[in-house]
């Protein structure tokens, strides 16, 4: 079994004007495709072949950098595409909203914490909303690391992420990362985030 580049559930232009079609096409068909191909090459002749991406990256500290980087890139982008949608709900509802309010005090305070994590991530990386037991926490990781990995400071189950590598936003927003993060909140698929919340 090899890993395959996922088919998006929406067109490259579907997230405009917030995320432009050219960025989406390059990001998905070039960057994500490269991580997918490189991951397959890295696990081809190893005992990791046939394992799920989650099984592989959980103990990534024991694996080669090529598997850490490309495995993370494959997993992270899969989640990133899934938690975006055109015309989705304007915000979280139900149990997800209750969990956010219980963990951060309010949705606005969560948004402030998530935005800060994304803005202040130095260089390339990701910001995350992570479930740890009954609590939600915000964190960020560098390069293609994620909270499932045993090398990260905060570990848990990711339910929302934003890519803050420059290739995710530079064509439209140049160096205005905060503007891209604000736009991202317009296309979050809160229904998908809620599905990832464990009871």
Q: Is the distance from CB of 160 to CB of 129 less than 8 angstroms?
A: yes
pLDDT band at 88 (very low <50, low <70, confident <90, very high): confident
- Residue 70 has a pLDDT of 98
Whether the per-residue pLDDT at 1 is higher than 70: the answer is no
pLDDT band at 69 (very low <50, low <70, confident <90, very high): very high
> What is the CATH superfamily name and number for domain 20-199?
Iron/manganese superoxide dismutase, C-terminal domain (3.55.40.20)
Higher local confidence (pLDDT), 1 or 187: 187
Give the number of residues written for the chain: 199
DSSP class of residue 87? Answer: T
Q: Is the distance from CB of 72 to CB of 64 less than 8 angstroms?
A: no
- Residue 10 has a pLDDT of 98
Contacts of residue 123, defined as CB under 8 A and 6 or more positions apart, other chains included, come to 142
Q: Is the distance from CB of 160 to CB of 194 less than 8 angstroms?
A: no
- Residue 147 has a pLDDT of 98
Tokens representing 34 are: 């490269």
Q: Is the distance from CB of 52 to CB of 153 less than 8 angstroms?
A: no
- Residue 63 has a pLDDT of 95
What average pLDDT does this structure show over 62-84?
97
The span from the CA of 123 to the CA of 126, in Å, is 10
**For 121-157, how does the pLDDT look when each residue is reduced to its tens digit (9 = 90+)?**
999 999 999 999 999 999 999 999 999 999 999 999 9
Which residue ranges make up each domain of the chain?
Answer: 20-199
**pLDDT cut 70: percent of the chain above it:** 99
**For 89-132, how does the pLDDT look when each residue is reduced to its tens digit (9 = 90+)?**
999 999 999 999 999 999 999 999 999 999 999 999 999 999 99
What average pLDDT does this structure show over 1-26?
96
Q: What is the mean pLDDT of the chain?
A: 96
* Alpha carbon distances (Å) from 11 to 8, 28, 163: 7, 11, 19
């Amino acid at each position: 079994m090899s890993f395959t580049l996922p088919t998006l559930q929406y067109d490259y232009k579907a997230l405009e004007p917030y995320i432009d079609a050219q960025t989406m096409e390059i990001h998905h068909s070039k960057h994500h495709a490269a991580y997918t191909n490189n991951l397959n090459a890295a696990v081809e002749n190893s005992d990791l072949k046939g394992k799920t991406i989650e099984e592989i990256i959980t103990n990534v500290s024991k694996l080669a950098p090529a598997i850490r980087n490309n495995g993370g890139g494959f997993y992270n982008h899969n989640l990133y595409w899934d938690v975006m949608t055109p015309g989705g709900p304007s915000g979280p509802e139900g149990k997800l909203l209750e969990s956010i309010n219980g963990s951060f005090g309010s949705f606005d305070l969560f948004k402030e914490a998530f935005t800060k994590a994304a803005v202040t991530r130095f260089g390339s990386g990701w910001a995350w909303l992570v479930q740890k037991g009954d609590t939600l926490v915000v964190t960020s990781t560098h390069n293609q690391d994620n909270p499932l990995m045993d090398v990260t400071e905060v570990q848990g189950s990711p339910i929302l992420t934003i890519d803050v590598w420059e290739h995710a936003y530079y064509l439209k927003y140049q160096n205005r990362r905060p503007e891209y993060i604000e736009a991202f909140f317009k296309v979050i698929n809160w229904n998908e985030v809620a599905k990832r919340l464990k009871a």
